[in-house]
Chains A and B, each alone.
Chain A
Amino acid sequence: MSPAIRAKGAGKKAFINARLIDPVAQTDGMGGLLIQDDTIAKAGAEVTKDTVPEGFEIIDLGGACLAPGLVDMRAQLREPGFEHQETIETAGKSAAIGGVTTIIALPNTDPVIDDVAGVEFIARRARKVGLAKVFVYGAVSKGIEGKEITEMGLLHQAGAVAFCDGVKTIASARLLRQALSYSTFFDGMIVQHPEEPELSKGASMNSGELATRLGLSGVSPLAEVMQIERDLRLAEMTGGRLHFAHISTGESVEVIRKAKKRGLKVTCDTAPPYFALNENSVSDYRTFAKLSPPLRSEDDRQAIVAGLADGTIDAIASDHNPQDADSKRLPFAQAAAGAVGFETLLPISLELYHNGHMSLLDVITKLTRVPADLVRIKGAGTLAEGTAADLVVFDPDRPWKIDPYQFHSKSKNSPFDGRLTQGRVLRTLIDGREVFTEGS
């Protein structure tokens, strides 16, 4: 019994009796929302059954949460080049079920998104599919080879919202310095995968007792913080906007916290596995728990939670990385790293709220407004009047058991397989159209 994806006409719609979560106004309270055609006409406590104007279809949400659709700032869609793992269409379906309405896709496809044609291809495909709104990162270096800078200005003009080298670290200090410096003239942002590439070459899990017991070579947690420390110097030197993706260690949180205090233009995100799991998930060589960066110690996990709660970590991204069974059914060292994430992004993030670490509003803010602001996408992550009606309706409490074989992603590689969790998406709307409605 899989929920159907459908695209219903928009027209005039009124959601009433909703718990409205507005990450821009920073409010969380009962109210309603009016949609006219593809935009939000009004949102607030004053929208009730009695105030809905004539001609609107009234939908009583029965107290469910209504928030801007999630803005996922780090995901791999695998198209073009790896369509056996995911396509823009299957990723779109998966995103719709996960409540994700805006995706910023990594450029590590084949061919790499390092020219204007690539940016336009993704935009065209995504428009045709009509599920999530897809934006892309342009590659920092041509072919993500870490050597020559791409035509960043032209890429930006064509629609690339920021720049990164996919899952690779921008290792060359000179290249990163130039990219940071050059991108300041159009307010570009450089996203770094912080992992010093030499220290732990060829390693496959977090270093420490478990790696030693399992006989696997370990990635030192220091590889992350030392890359961050170097890059902070470059950010300071150039005045460029630097963002660290999927922070996973306590030391990283500490260093970024200090850098922010010093006033550096630096931001970071993390992904659900890093605040919900630790390296013990790997025991018995479970390749679904092989990620990059690797799952860390319990102390690190707790530090990530603390970093989210105190605001050091700005955003939460899914880090959606589809891998087919053949890439995972291998001895651990040979297996591909990565996990799918769209369909678990909201429920796992809600654990931060259920466990009392953060308010619901704060969790939603890190999943919507903050990432939209970071990549300068106007009109996403907000309930403001006149913005696109990209919305998610969810029940934050409903319990369910995660079963990847029910996922709509083409790949099923989830480290949350079998986890009992709370929070289910009920409806997802893009431009006022319902692209997902629970139970139908």
Chain B
Amino acid sequence: MSVMGPAADHYPHPHLLGIEGLTPGEITLILDRAQHYAEKNRSADKTSNILAGATVVNLFYENSTRTLTSFELAAKRLGADVINMTVGTSSVKKGETLIDTAMTLNAMNPDALVVRHADSGAVKLLSEKVNCAVLNAGDGRHEHPTQALLDALTIRRHKGRLHRLNVAICGDIAHSRVARSNILLLNTMGSRVRLVAPPTLIPSKIDRMGVEIFHDMEEGLKDCDIVMMLRLQLERMEGSFIPSVREYFHFHGLDRAKLANAKPDALIMHPGPMNRGVEIDSEVADDVERSVIREQVEMGVAVRMAALELLVQNHRKMGGQA
């Protein structure tokens, strides 16, 4: 199926902290399992009891409706008990540190912790202090592995492969954990990644991650198989990265005219939530022929089911010692 070889026979890591360190076989394993759930999720019989008795805690330090809902649904469809903790600022304001919170939750013996945090490396730090499986649901601008996996599954379903594709990741690379995880995954699987953004949104030395850099969107999209747009994260920006939203859309927003440079069957992707009229024009975002943005959301649940299943089962096998 893939030139990158067959799926691994098991997932050997205690956690899913990032795409970095995963082999092509391990990625394929997760995707194959996710594909199974994608089909199941479209059937009448969506649920199973594969994780019955397991406790999954969603610990979110940043507001996120879609990722939290996706993880919650994934865990419930597998029969696990789910607790959502949107920490936001409440415990932080009371002075409780990340590690204190982790220790407190750990004492309740969960099987998996799904963590989102605004600081890069925070999820890794937390994983060192608990003895359950930890899933990174996004840490700062570092990684967001389940997003890259759901993007990969969506691509694979349409293109039939993950190698030898030209993928353009466009927009706010500097503040994006999605971009980093996707670069790592697509490079691992044998595709070529280009980054298209104004120079202020390209982080220093990112070319060393094996990507080509374009500032001109029309040039960057030329002959692309996939156009992956990123959300402009105005809330993370300190200082002037772009002069105005209007100017940004003019040069770097995806519209019909710029899209015409990509291959005729190029897919349009976006991790959501979209800023319509900022990085993407509604006309292309809602194009049923090209846009797979809604399917990405659907694949999100399937990928998270696969990841939770593999990790919780690992955790159980290891006798509760992650």
What residues of chain A have their CB less than 8 Å away from a CB belonging to chain B? 201-202, 207-209, 211-218, 220, 284-285, 326, 329-334
Given contacts A212-B209, A285-B124, A329-B97, contact A202 B238 (CB under 8 A): yes
**Measured CA separation A334–B239 after assembly (Å):** 20
Binds A, one of B46-54, B155-163, B200-208: B200-208
Which 4 A-B pairs give the minimum distances between C-beta atoms?
A215-B142, A331-B119, A285-B121, A215-B120
Q: Contact check, A334 vs B205: say whether CB atoms are below 8 A apart.
A: no
Q: Total A-B pairs in contact (CB under 8 Å)? A: 72
Quick one: which of B125, B140, B206, B238 contacts A201, CB cutoff 8 A?
Answer: B238
- Is B151 an interface residue when CB atoms closer than 8 A count as contact? no
Given contacts A201-B238, A212-B209, A331-B98, contact A218 B121 (CB under 8 A): no
Given contacts A211-B204, A329-B97, A331-B119, contact A285 B125 (CB under 8 A): yes
With a cutoff of 8 Å between Cβ atoms, the chain A residues found around residue B122 in the complex are 331
0/1 string, B80-100, CB within 8 A of A gives 1: 000000000000000001110
Find the A residue at minimum CB distance from B122.
Answer: A331
With a cutoff of 8 Å between Cβ atoms, the chain A residues found around residue B140 in the complex are 215-216, 331, 333
Find the B residue at minimum CB distance from A217.
Answer: B141
**Measured CA separation A338–B239 after assembly (Å):** 27
Q: Contact check, B180 vs A213: say whether CB atoms are below 8 A apart.
A: yes
Q: How many chain-B residues does the 8 Å CB contact rule pick out?
A: 26
Min Cβ gap A284→B in Å is 7
Q: Contact check, B120 vs A285: say whether CB atoms are below 8 A apart.
A: yes
Min Cβ gap B101→A in Å is 12
Q: Contact check, B98 vs A208: say whether CB atoms are below 8 A apart.
A: no
17 A-B residue pairings within 8 Å (CB atoms): A201-B238, A201-B239, A208-B204, A213-B20, A214-B120, A215-B120, A215-B141, A215-B177, A216-B121, A284-B124, A285-B120, A329-B97, A331-B98, A332-B120, A333-B120, A333-B121, A333-B140
Min Cβ gap B113→A in Å is 16
With a cutoff of 8 Å between Cβ atoms, the chain A residues found around residue B204 in the complex are 207-209, 211-212, 218, 220
- Give the dominant DSSP class at A's interface: loop
Given contacts A285-B125, A331-B120, A331-B125, contact A212 B203 (CB under 8 A): yes
Q: Contact check, B98 vs A214: say whether CB atoms are below 8 A apart.
A: no
Q: Contact check, A208 vs B119: say whether CB atoms are below 8 A apart.
A: no
0/1 string, B230-250, CB within 8 A of A gives 1: 000000001100000000000
Q: Contact check, B120 vs A216: say whether CB atoms are below 8 A apart.
A: yes
With a cutoff of 8 Å between Cβ atoms, the chain B residues found around residue A220 in the complex are 204
- Is B143 an interface residue when CB atoms closer than 8 A count as contact? yes
Q: Contact check, B117 vs A213: say whether CB atoms are below 8 A apart.
A: no
Find the B residue at minimum CB distance from A215.
Answer: B142
- Is B26 an interface residue when CB atoms closer than 8 A count as contact? no
With a cutoff of 8 Å between Cβ atoms, the chain B residues found around residue A334 in the complex are 119
- Is B139 an interface residue when CB atoms closer than 8 A count as contact? yes
Q: Contact check, B121 vs A209: say whether CB atoms are below 8 A apart.
A: no
**Measured CA separation A329–B140 after assembly (Å):** 17
With a cutoff of 8 Å between Cβ atoms, the chain B residues found around residue A216 in the complex are 120-121, 140-142
With a cutoff of 8 Å between Cβ atoms, the chain A residues found around residue B177 in the complex are 215
0/1 string, B177-188, CB within 8 A of A gives 1: 100100000000
Q: Contact check, B119 vs A214: say whether CB atoms are below 8 A apart.
A: no
Find the B residue at minimum CB distance from A218.
Answer: B204
**Measured CA separation A284–B141 after assembly (Å):** 14
0/1 string, B120-136, CB within 8 A of A gives 1: 11101100000000000
Given contacts A202-B238, A215-B139, A215-B142, contact A332 B121 (CB under 8 A): yes
Min Cβ gap A437→B in Å is 39
